[in-house]
Structure 1
Amino acid sequence: MAKLKLVQLPVPPPTAFAATGNVPLAAGCLAVSARENGLEKKGLELEVLDPDITDKEGDSQLADRIAKDEPEFLGFSLYLWNTERSLHLAKEVKRRSPSTKILIGGPEVNPDNPFVLSETGYDIAVSGEAEHTFFALMETLLKKEDPRKLPNIAVRELDGKMGMFSREENASFPLTSYPSPYLQGFVPVDPARSTYLETVRGCRSQCTYCFYPKSSNVLRTLDIPETIKLLSSLKDKGAKELVFLDPTFNHRPGFEEFLDAIIDVNSDRAMTMFGELRSEGITEKIADKLALAGFNRIELGMQSINKETLKRVKRFGSPEKVAEAARMLADRGIELLLDLIIGLPGDTPDDVMEGIEFFYGHGLGEWVQVFPLSILPGTAMRKDAESEGLVYLPKPPYRVIRTPNFSPEALSSTLFRSEDRLDRRLDETPRSLLSDPDPSVSDIFSFSPGLSEKFALEDFSLSGARHVSIWWRGDNLEKSKKEFFDRLNYRFNKDPFAVTDLVLYPRSTFDPELITEIMEEFSKVPASYLSRTLAHRGENMLHRIVLVLPQGISFPLEWISEIREYIPVFQEMEWEEAVRKSEELGGEFPGARIISKNENGSAWKILKENADPESVTFADRVLEKRWCWEVLGYSEK
């Protein structure tokens, strides 16, 4: 029997204890397609790799696991955040299991994405909605026939280069063709994770920056009875938060009747819900029904205050209508996401700031999110990028780096000006893994010349977790620099996409120039989505440095202040000291790494109320995860 494994790698979160939001829905839908079309009966064994595995294991661990039984077929779902790591993993699996035929698909796989098509390690690329194509492709491969006759397929040629894509064909199958992968057992219903579902494919909007219009402007819907049956089943399985992936949730026909049906099945509000809506059509009555149905978060994208820009990118709509609809929803206690994009063709930096002021003027400033434009594969904007004067990164996140109205400096300064006005950071702050080792998890490595660290891994050749910390301990760090850098680079070669926190744990001061030398070592590692995503801040989300000052050792305040100009600094302390300094942590004083093992309820409350939450971290893993989820909001909810 031939085996097919389907893999979706997670969004790398800012900290090891944050939820990834990884739901392999696309992989599950492909597995359902194979099953419903009888491929299991024809000798194909199906497996969707559990997200609990993909969320935790590092590159080498995953490659070993996938290749262990040498599956005949392996499929990766490529998204903005996981493309480079998936392609690396494909190469590693191929090296371990050369006979495995590797397939890739997802939004990143398009004829207009030379980055993906120039990569090696996979055999076949599939573009567009894939259920019908995938079934036909797998049947063809099982028969050992040539798949080039199928639509939306590109095959690697004998010379090692990818061939041209076959004819493009939009999907037209009814959504009732396939049952939900949740009900088929391919995707687990986990109360701790969001449950993603689609009740509509296709999009009537033709926004040029969005991938959705590529599929079709004809809506294919899962009818109301089938949707309610699915929701009831998901509720019975313990689903707590439903995320509707429908491109524009309220564009579906019979939307009001649809909400009435959801209200019936969720009358106890046991499930909360999220969807993306257009402001047009939202009335007081619709807002009431959204709240009654359990929608506690809704995204309304205004994108720009400039109406000419909205026409140019085919978003259209009215900012005033967005504000009116947002006010209705906010009045009913619904949390909002109000989008503004930096760098849209026709916009200027002033347009972005005026958009923020517009929302403040309507009492909606707290909900605004501002982010740079990405020129995504498969979009009309990518096709027209040259004529529009848009220059963008050729690799994820494909962020625009210049437009006729935005220089690179103006793009960054507009983001920072937006943050100043909104009085908050608009992207996630990297948070180092500073917890004590756990013998069951390979995520703490230690280089400690002359010392030993219980449970920490001293063998840097071992496969690590998706997020690791490497502790460099010693009386004189500079003295052991060459040996440490050799080990550090070995780790990077072993797991190049593992998020790595380098923790400096000295017993005496060191020359701050050492930090520059470490960053130079980091720069030798090929860049990736995670290292690029905060590059405009001078931050590296993939490889980070943090200084921890051991308890009981005094360091000159001037030296600490100088180091804090470059990297975060934490002082080990007990609950009592952390409470005493709570209001100054991260300000006048370094942050606190609380080493007390027992929970202190009153101290927790004081820190939660008074301290900068990013300035508090815990040696105890249970407390660290609780802080990340309860205080920082890094849970799934």
Structure 2
Amino acid sequence: MKTVVSTLNAKYIHTSLALRYLKATSSDFDVLIKEFTINDPSLEIAGTLYDLNPDVIGFSCYIWNIEETIPVISILKKIHPNVRIILGGPEVTYDSEYWLQRVPEVDIIVRGEGEQTFNKLLSSIQTNQSLHSLNGITYRDERGEIQSNPNAPKFPLNEIPSPFRFEEDLPDLSKRVTYVETSRGCPFTCQFCLSSIEFGVRYFDIDRMKDELTYLMDHGAKTIKFLDRTFNINRKYAFEMFDFLIKHHRPGVVFQFEITADIMRPEVLEFINENAPEGLFRFEIGVQSTNDHTNELIKRKQNFNKLTRTITMVKDGGKVVQHLDLIAGLPEEDYQSFRQTFNDVFAMRPEELQLGFLKMLRGTGLRNNAHQWGYTYMDYAPYEMLSNNALSFLDVIKIKRVEDILEKYWNKHFMDYTVNYIVEHIFETPFDFFQLFGEYWHQQKWNKIGHQLTDLFSRLYQFIEKHALHHADIVEGLMDMDYYLNFRQKPRNSWKQRGIEHQEKQEIYEHVWKYYDFSEQGYTRKELHKHTMIDLLSFDIDEYLQNGLVKETPSLLIAIYSPEGKKVEIKKGSIPYPLKKLPNGRQASIQYWSFHHIV
């Protein structure tokens, strides 16, 4: 009996740990893993699976792939009517009878943890046994009627064989994300999350997991993401694992964890800050909301002061990249309350801030009680909320425009100096900047066209000229610096049309050459022209970089790039240089310049 287990990942670099668990647990059967992405055409996926001529196909289903999986199933049953179609995964575990009714081509649904159930199911299919006594499934009986058997009991996690030792996975380990888990379950009861439905936390043996991680690193895995819902809930286990990874990691590997920040002990953070190499760890922290009443309604316990302490300690340590999550649309959090939540969290300047919207997942408390808060939401996955009694659909659309600008102008880190100045000196709060710019972006219809890096700069400058013209000169200077920081080699063009005239640039180069021996850096006069960009700033760049103060004393920024594209240090110096006229026509005298290697 030939069995294929398959799924549609969100991206090619993702891998499905679930499929590998199923294959490892069902080693007595001929099980083949086939992964696709949600962007692959349905007919192409179905054709690939048809060519394998399987007797059984199992699909792992989630909110991001269920709607793309259904057309594949429909095609398969038409071209291969005798194949058994089995679904599993969190999306079909709840309301499983609904899924069998909606997708008549599906024969069986495996609910909950499927490893042992799937193995028993394959045995029953192969021997043509009745399914009425197999726990953990919903299926169609001989008469075509839908039957749901009791849930399967939990089992010790160490009974699952290793899912990481398949030879076919080794060539791509370095190119894709490797998912692991050290535990299952979550002690918290957040009503928007599926983990709130299960009770208790079970662990894999830590020595086994150390061995698994060593194997993965030895065979080239570079990005290893832990799927534990709260990695640090068991302090001893988490600390021992952090210590192991710090001592035994391989160069270039990154470990990603989902942690609960307000229960993280300061001594653990101090240990990481003192011992971990920079960039080894990445923390994902779900803040979701800073509204205490909202958190109480969704049964979410959160101490924001302790959470802030953790995030600040991690940021000050400079070793760990932090990704913080917010959820718009939670009960009783209206537009102004969410504005406050956003500002509370953005004040900590996380490396990444993801603004998501509430998904009304099947089986969760929020979906079951949606009427209580007047929720409307999408009928099909991902079941995103559209409105509730505190947040109108118009409010939702406005916040989506905040999300768009946040992703383009903060999470990408194309212009950190510029954005930090804008949110600190121009607008009342960071949220107001992202909101107003989001509205302006939409009004200009830029959401309907693509953009390159230069477009991001020019469009932001256009917005600043419109809404804060008296800050435009300073913003322009910071954008110059940010723009050059995005390149390892001299960019072909500036982001702006205007600049210093060619003849004046020649005079500046000649004057600068007299005061600084560029030959020590390996540059001739010709190479200095070839590998530099020069701009006139309206403020004292050194004062701003060192103290964050805007002193309106013009200065020159010369960006020098290494011919080999190598990264070199930022260097500062000053050279007296009287410049009689600024490019915009105003008179000024520049008493010094700042020389920066900025790549």
The answer for the alignment partner of 1:95 in structure 2 is: 78
The residue identity in structure 2 corresponding to 1:240 is K
The answer for the alignment partner of 1:110 in structure 2 is: 93
The answer for the alignment partner of 1:352 in structure 2 is: 338
Root-mean-square deviation over aligned CA pairs: 3.4
The residue identity in structure 2 corresponding to 1:219 is V
Q: CA deviation at 1:217?
A: 2.5
Does 1:411 pair with 2:411? Answer: no
Cα distance in 2 for partners of 1:76, 1:316 equals 35
The residue identity in structure 2 corresponding to 1:402 is S
Distance 1:80 1:187, change over 3 A: farther
The answer for the alignment partner of 2:188 in structure 1 is: 205
Question: 2:61 touches 2:89 (CA, 8 Å); kept in 1?
Answer: yes
The answer for the alignment partner of 1:72 in structure 2 is: 55
How many pairs were matched up? 439
Question: 1:356 touches 1:418 (CA, 8 Å); kept in 2?
Answer: no
Cα distance in 1 for partners of 2:396, 2:456 equals 36
Cα distance in 2 for partners of 1:394, 1:56 equals 21
The answer for the alignment partner of 1:259 in structure 2 is: 242
Does 1:145 pair with 2:137? Answer: no
The answer for the alignment partner of 2:482 in structure 1 is: none
Q: CA deviation at 1:75?
A: 0.4
Secondary structure of 2:322 counterpart: strand
Cα distance in 2 for partners of 1:563, 1:374 equals 28
Does 1:32 pair with 2:24? Answer: yes
Q: CA deviation at 1:98?
A: 0.9
Question: 2:141 touches 2:147 (CA, 8 Å); kept in 1?
Answer: no
Does 1:217 pair with 2:199? Answer: yes
Does 1:8 pair with 2:7? Answer: yes
Cα distance in 1 for partners of 2:457, 2:402 equals 26
Cα distance in 1 for partners of 2:460, 2:317 equals 36
Cα distance in 2 for partners of 1:147, 1:187 equals 33
Distance 1:325 1:563, change over 3 A: closer
The residue identity in structure 1 corresponding to 2:149 is S
Which stretch of the first structure deviates more once superposed, 396-405 or 284-293? 284-293
Distance 1:269 1:307, change over 3 A: farther
Q: CA deviation at 1:563?
A: 9.7
Question: 1:203 touches 1:218 (CA, 8 Å); kept in 2?
Answer: yes
Cα distance in 1 for partners of 2:183, 2:214 equals 18
Distance 1:259 1:417, change over 3 A: closer
Cα distance in 1 for partners of 2:146, 2:261 equals 43
Secondary structure of 1:414 counterpart: helix
Question: 1:31 touches 1:186 (CA, 8 Å); kept in 2?
Answer: no
The answer for the alignment partner of 1:279 in structure 2 is: 261
The answer for the alignment partner of 1:616 in structure 2 is: none
Question: 1:263 touches 1:289 (CA, 8 Å); kept in 2?
Answer: no
Higher helix residue share = 2
Q: CA deviation at 1:152?
A: 2.2
Secondary structure of 1:234 counterpart: helix
**CA-to-aligned-CA distance 1:399-419 (integer Å, 9 cap, x gap):** 011211112112222333466
Distance 1:272 1:414, change over 3 A: same
Secondary structure of 1:108 counterpart: helix
Question: 1:22 touches 1:55 (CA, 8 Å); kept in 2?
Answer: no
Q: CA deviation at 1:269?
A: 4.6
The answer for the alignment partner of 2:363 in structure 1 is: 378
Cα distance in 2 for partners of 1:138, 1:377 equals 27
Question: 1:582 touches 1:607 (CA, 8 Å); kept in 2?
Answer: no
Residues 356-371 of structure 1 mapped to structure 2, 5 A cutoff: 356-361=342-347, 363-364=348-349, 367-371=352-356
Residue ranges of structure 1 left out of the alignment (5+ in a row) = 13-19, 428-535, 540-560, 571-577, 589-601, 613-637
Secondary structure of 2:151 counterpart: coil
Q: CA deviation at 1:604?
A: 8.5
Larger Rg over CA atoms: 2
Does 1:310 pair with 2:295? Answer: yes
Q: CA deviation at 1:119?
A: 1.9
The answer for the alignment partner of 1:46 in structure 2 is: 31
Distance 1:150 1:319, change over 3 A: same
The answer for the alignment partner of 2:14 in structure 1 is: 22
Question: 2:258 touches 2:283 (CA, 8 Å); kept in 1?
Answer: yes
Which stretch of the first structure deviates more once superposed, 75-84 or 106-115? 106-115
The answer for the alignment partner of 1:433 in structure 2 is: none
The residue identity in structure 2 corresponding to 1:275 is F
Q: CA deviation at 1:187?
A: 4.4
Cα distance in 2 for partners of 1:272, 1:71 equals 37
The answer for the alignment partner of 1:172 in structure 2 is: 154
Q: CA deviation at 1:129?
A: 0.7
Cα distance in 1 for partners of 2:54, 2:65 equals 22
The residue identity in structure 2 corresponding to 1:395 is Y
**CA-to-aligned-CA distance 1:280-339 (integer Å, 9 cap, x gap):** 332333124445456432111111111121121111111222211111111222221222
1:120 to 89, 92, 104: 104
Residue ranges of structure 2 left out of the alignment (5+ in a row) = 413-437, 463-485, 497-599
The answer for the alignment partner of 1:82 in structure 2 is: 65
Distance 1:390 1:75, change over 3 A: same
Distance 1:144 1:384, change over 3 A: same
Residues 461-472 of structure 1 mapped to structure 2, 5 A cutoff: none
Cα distance in 1 for partners of 2:487, 2:325 equals 37
Q: CA deviation at 1:120?
A: 2.7
Which stretch of the first structure deviates more once superposed, 287-296 or 394-403? 287-296
What TM-score do you get using the length of structure 1 for normalisation? 0.63
Q: CA deviation at 1:123?
A: 0.9
**CA-to-aligned-CA distance 1:208-238 (integer Å, 9 cap, x gap):** 1111233x33211112211111111001110
**CA-to-aligned-CA distance 1:22-43 (integer Å, 9 cap, x gap):** 20210110111111xxx33xxx
Cα distance in 1 for partners of 2:459, 2:349 equals 31
The residue identity in structure 2 corresponding to 1:191 is S
Q: CA deviation at 1:96?
A: 1.3
1:246 to 228, 231, 247: 228
Distance 1:94 1:356, change over 3 A: same
Distance 1:95 1:582, change over 3 A: closer
The residue identity in structure 1 corresponding to 2:324 is L
What TM-score do you get using the length of structure 2 for normalisation? 0.66
Residues 537-548 of structure 1 mapped to structure 2, 5 A cutoff: none
Distance 1:603 1:174, change over 3 A: closer
The residue identity in structure 2 corresponding to 1:10 is N
**CA-to-aligned-CA distance 1:315-364 (integer Å, 9 cap, x gap):** 11112222111111112222212221111112111121101221244x32
Question: 1:48 touches 1:187 (CA, 8 Å); kept in 2?
Answer: no
